[in-house]
Amino acid sequence: MLCYGHGGNDMKDMWRRLPLKKKIVVLLTLLCIGLTIGYLPEPYPHVLTKEEIKEAESVSRSQTEVLAPNVSLIDQAGHTVSMQSLYNKKPVLLYFWMSWSDMAAKELPVLDDMYRQQGRNVYFVIVCLDRGDAARQRIESGWSYDMPLYFASMETAGTYNVYEVPQWIMIDRGGTIREKRTGSLDQQQLEYALARSLK
């Protein structure tokens, strides 16, 4: 038979009869439950809205963007071309090389293939840094590629922090430097950079 009149006293009696170890276990369990309930965070406290994500992305982009310097290059006809006149119209793939570079000799045909595929959408600015008129004439006479050839000084390359070749720089339309790589050309990486610049 159940009796509800003395429930509080029954609980006290039951508590008194519990061994000390069980009392400690019960108290620790209640303490853990209390702490867990008391410190539960709000559901998904750090989930951002789409607007907050877009705002954060635009702020981080504007703080890390580097604009391409407006330097002058010489084309094969001997005319001066400003970089700004190019990147204000379309994205630019800027490639610095020198004729003694075996790596560049292997990469130029790859770039020429890419130029045939993407040349309508992206300026391919292939810049030779060899010095002297004789070297330039030799390079021009041996140039068998469809992509245009430009010449520039080492000082011009230094403006882009280019101190070793070959090196390519992907510049978005408007002049933001998207990517810069030195050494062996990774075709997949370059194709990805081109695709991103065309978005």
Domain match, 11 and 80 both:
no
More confident residue, 95 or 12: 95
Note down the domain range covering 158. Answer: 66-197
Report how many domains make up the chain.
Answer: 2
pTM: 0.67
> For residue 142, is it within any domain?
yes
3: pLDDT strictly greater than 70? no
More confident residue, 178 or 16: 178
Q: Which of 21-25, 62-66, 176-180 has the largest mean confidence?
A: 176-180
Q: Confidence band (pLDDT; 50, 70, 90) for 12?
A: confident
> For residue 44, is it within any domain?
no
- Per-residue model confidence (pLDDT) at position 52: 67
More confident residue, 157 or 190: 157
Domain match, 155 and 81 both:
yes
Two tokens, residue 154: 């080492």
7: pLDDT strictly greater than 60? no
Is residue 41 exposed (0-12), middle (13-18) or buried (19+ Cβ within 10 Å)? exposed
Domain match, 34 and 92 both:
no
> For residue 52, is it within any domain?
no
Q: Confidence band (pLDDT; 50, 70, 90) for 120?
A: very high
Domain match, 77 and 31 both:
no
Q: Which of 37-46, 54-63, 185-194 has the largest mean confidence?
A: 185-194
Domain match, 23 and 93 both:
no
**Any idea which of 17-26, 51-60, 76-85, 97-106 has the lowest mean pLDDT?**
51-60
Cβ neighbours of 179 (radius 10 Å) = 17
> For residue 49, is it within any domain?
no
- Per-residue model confidence (pLDDT) at position 8: 63
190: pLDDT strictly greater than 80? yes
More confident residue, 3 or 128: 128
Domain match, 21 and 102 both:
no
Domain match, 21 and 94 both:
no
Q: How far is CA 108 from CA 10, 22, 36, in A?
A: 92, 80, 64
**Residue located via tokens 């700004």:** 84
> For residue 139, is it within any domain?
yes
> For residue 172, is it within any domain?
yes
CATH code assigned at 150? 3.40.30.10
Domain match, 125 and 162 both:
yes
